[in-house]
Chains A and B, each alone.
Chain A
Amino acid sequence: MESVLPLSETHSPESTDATAQIVRAAAGAGTPVYPVGGGTASNYGGRPTREGIGLSFDRQNGLVDYPTRDLTITVESGMTVAELQRLTAKEGQRLPVDIPQAAVATVGGAVAAAPAGPRRFACGTLRDYVLGLDVVDGTGNVFSTGGRVVKNAAGYDLSRLFTGSLGSLGIITKVTLMVKPIPEIWGFHACRCDRPERLLECLAGTRSLPCALEVLSGPAWSSLPGRPSDDSRRPLVLVGFEGPEAEVGWMLDTIEAEWASAGASECVNILGEDADALWTRLCEFPAPTPGEPTAVVEIGVLPNQVAELVETLRRSSESHSIQAHAGNGVVRVRRPGGAESEIRQFIAAARRLAAEARGRATVLSVPPEIALSAEEAFGPVGSGFALMRRLKERFDPKDILNPGRMVY
């Protein structure tokens, strides 16, 4: 993957200590250090401008410990998410978090960027699964956060601080995760409708237990796996279930009955290979397609605001595709690449909409030729900004770790 990071050279340390040595030297010289996992989040956050050293984790990609009956696993950062899923699947276990581009994305990179997909509704996000980390901070100090047990009230949960902080406070070299059993089957109930709000309201009192609750719209969803293309102008409401077969079967029947009494028609169940394919599409939605420049913005609001926001976004352009995690208040808009001015207008419009809804807009990715500042990517400062600045000053006083990507 082509890197947009300004790298003069790349190193591939073999261990945490080797990583720390490089960082210490870089801190002394004031040289930026850019950890590079699979490169899948390179266009996320502010575009760094200061040339520096790339750190690859392809020599720190091994399994450290996997006591399977403890349902925990410790790996080095450079292991791909796909490899993690392969190892755990052999034991009937998984990390139940949707991480795009798993074949390339690394576990360490995923923890640093903390993406989340549809399963967040029932399963939570990476923050709920990281039990401990090994970290190298911006002075080359090495330390560990958390531990290896699923309940741990000893001290501050600093794993939370480094998860999702885009490598700005420290470089993650090892990750201990909680894993869960793989469900027996999964499936979806899907419905095209003009007014998703009616179905979402009905879902508020459902007797079923969805693992995902999606409102989808636009060209990316004009057809579903295994189904012929249908009217893409009508949004799709999708409810996902996973669990024992008897349970999923009961839930699909239940939701069908509940929605029927709410006036839904044209509903289908999606199971088996079609369901697998649909999960992949849902998970990969925010990822750029090779050869097709895109921009993706994510808006965070309250769940009850999702339907209206989706409707507003739909009406603003037919070429936009939308994925909303309706139960979590997360709405993603994806548009094809275009002139820089168009993309910037798109971002500004999303930001305005978010502000009107008292939410937040975050740019997840832009075409590589567009360079945003951290402020442009993440929006105006929030309540915790001063704390973030002070944390940055403590853990990376020389501002060498991913400078300009998150803290500004």
Chain B
Amino acid sequence: MASVATFSPDVLRDLRAVLGSDGILSDPADLLVYECDGFTIQKNVPQAVVFPRTTDEVSRIMKICSSRGVPVVPRAAGTSLAGGCLPVDGGVVLMTTRMRNVLDINLRDRMAVVEPGVPNVQLGRALAGSGFHFAPDPSSQGASTIGGNVATNAGGPHTLKYGVTGNHVLGVEAVLPDGEVVQLGPVSNPGEMDLLGVLVGSEGTLAIITKIWVKLTPNPQAYRTLRVMFDTVDAAGEAISDIIGEGIIPAAMELMDQGIIRAVEQAFHFGFPLDVGAMAVIELDGVEADLDEQCSRIVELCEKHGATEILFAADAEERILLWKCRKLAVGAVGRLAPSYCIQDGVVPRTKLPRIIRKVAELSKKYDIGIVNVAHAGDGNVHPILLFDERDIEQVGRVLEAGRELLEECIACGGSITAEHGIGVEKIELMPRLFQPRDLAAMAAVRDVFNPKGILGRGKVVPGQNGVIGAGLHAGA
């Protein structure tokens, strides 16, 4: 086991004293489960996994680990696609999965209070019938937790109209790496800098979030959901760009290319034509009174760009069916290749056609199958690279193609990640996106919150404690 941290037996003993023996795993067979998250390319086994139930337990764990120099990585559902939960230096993985209570739902104030381990979908279920929902709906929401959503500033298809997780967080309670507990929000406090805003999206490298006050959004009265077929991805991209340019902000605009449409059709038999160039799922929501007007403008713009077929969901059932083909898309990819990697890049929305063309070029250049799903309205592309992980040479090409794609995103004025975060996956690319002085500012903030570098080591900001990125693998 390539673990760097010193982990003397009394650390285990002290942790056990806080948590009880059923609150801690230290047997090697048990620890293997935690060697990686959704980013399976890099693995490393921790030395212990702990399961606190309260903020106080989290605080005491951090005090023990901080005083002994034991690295800690927070983890909930482990759905990170960037290695955010990778225990780079071994140490302790701190699970928030036993902190999964919805503490309060306050419809009057349009807020809810949750523990970090509450799965996004569980909060959704708790709100069913209330007339409200929690707007951020990342594709991982069936498993990913609110704490994880906050840590990664999670997105999803509806960010176009509703924003990202950070726009829906009113307050947090957090445990700092030294064990101090802070509460930021939910009450407005102009005299306090927006530390809450800094914690959102900090990927578990600044603090462990132990309670979240979230904003609740009223359910839309009505929807108009369309599925639009185009001959080419370019045409679809131009139509989407035009819609935004007209001042219409649909709730969602999702794009799928031929490769993924074929996979979905073969898996689920929706009846899609297999030669269609691209498919867009566009959804408007709001009050009934104006939706038809906005909808007909969208139809006009789609037709202007040569839409070959436009289908409307006639009722709630059809709406779910229309969305199914998008929501199952990634699941269908499994039939295309033994392994796949979902990339995450973002460009200014008008550059979307250009980046999708680049993906096609890269597919040819590196001889890798790539299919595309995109949150097109936001310029956020998710090319899915297909390969066989047993073929090391091919894996090398996949990584190169991914890197070149992200370089193109940078060249377009975009970013190397819109939603998935940096984790360990993209830490080496941070100097491509940011100047050294920008990274120094981030490092300064990290040093304020996490001066000993105990928490979330080797992630997000390069150059911590001499650990740049992670390349450790289980097995000595």
Contacts and interface: CB of A to CB of B under 8 A. Distances in A.
A298 interface: yes
B22 interface: no
A388 B184 CA distance: 12
B244 A394 contact: no
A291 interface: no
B159 A151 contact: yes
How many interface residues does chain A have, given as a range?
Answer: 35 or more
Contacts of A157: 153, 166, 197-198, 200-201
B188 A328 contact: yes
A34 B440 CA distance: 24
A181 interface: yes
A153 B188 contact: no
Contacts of B346: 149, 151-152
Nearest to A178: B163
Contact of B440 (A127, A143, A378): A143
B192 A388 contact: yes
Contacts of B415: 147, 149, 151-154
B223 to A, nearest CB: 14
A329 B187 contact: yes
Contacts of B196: 160
Contact of B460 (A151, A155, A243): A155
Nearest to B427: A155
A151 B155 contact: yes
B241 A379 contact: no
B468 interface: no
Interface residues of B, number: 90
Contact of B244 (A71, A142, A152, A165): A71
Interface stretch (B67-75, B93-101, B282-290, B385-393): B282-290
Contact of A391 (B180, B193, B201): B193
Q: B186, B245, B293, B378 — which one has the most chain A CB atoms within 10 A of its CB?
A: B245
A114 interface: yes
B331 interface: no
Nearest to A164: B194
B104 to A, nearest CB: 11
A362 B192 CA distance: 10
Interface in B78-109: 106-109
Given A161-B445, A388-B195, A156 B413 contact: no
B433 A143 contact: no
B241 A69 contact: yes
Nearest to A301: B187
Interface in B367-410: 375, 378-380
Nearest to A300: B188
A160 B350 contact: no
A153 B167 contact: no
A72 interface: yes
B191 A152 contact: no
Given A181-B247, A298-B190, A209 B286 contact: yes
A260 interface: no
A149 B448 contact: no
B437 interface: yes
B110 interface: yes
Interface in A354-408: 358-360, 362, 374, 377-379, 382-388, 390-391, 394-395, 406
A71 B449 contact: no
A180 interface: yes
Contacts of B288: 250
A399 to B, nearest CB: 16
B444 interface: yes
Given A143-B437, A144-B435, A207-B221, A244 B290 contact: yes
Contacts of A92: 247
25 contacts: A67-B350, A92-B247, A128-B167, A147-B413, A150-B378, A151-B155, A151-B164, A151-B415, A153-B155, A153-B420, A153-B421, A156-B445, A157-B198, A201-B108, A207-B287, A246-B289, A302-B186, A304-B106, A327-B110, A328-B188, A358-B187, A360-B189, A362-B191, A384-B193, A388-B192
Interface of B: 106-110, 131, 152-153, 155, 159, 163-164, 166-167, 176, 180, 182-184, 186-198, 200-202, 206, 218, 221, 241, 244-245, 247-249, 286-290, 293-294, 344, 346-350, 375, 378-380, 413-422, 426, 430, 433-435, 437-442, 444-449, 460-461
Interface of A: 67-72, 92-93, 114, 124, 127-128, 135, 137, 141-145, 147-158, 160-161, 163-165, 169, 180-182, 201, 204-205, 207-209, 243-247, 249-251, 298, 300-304, 327-330, 358-360, 362, 374, 377-379, 382-388, 390-391, 394-395, 406
Q: Which 7 A-B pairs have the closest CB atoms?
A: A160-B197, A378-B191, A300-B188, A181-B247, A250-B289, A151-B418, A244-B290
Given A71-B349, A141-B437, A391-B448, 11 more contacts: A69-B244, A157-B198, A161-B198, A165-B193, A201-B108, A204-B110, A300-B188, A329-B109, A387-B195, A388-B192, A406-B193
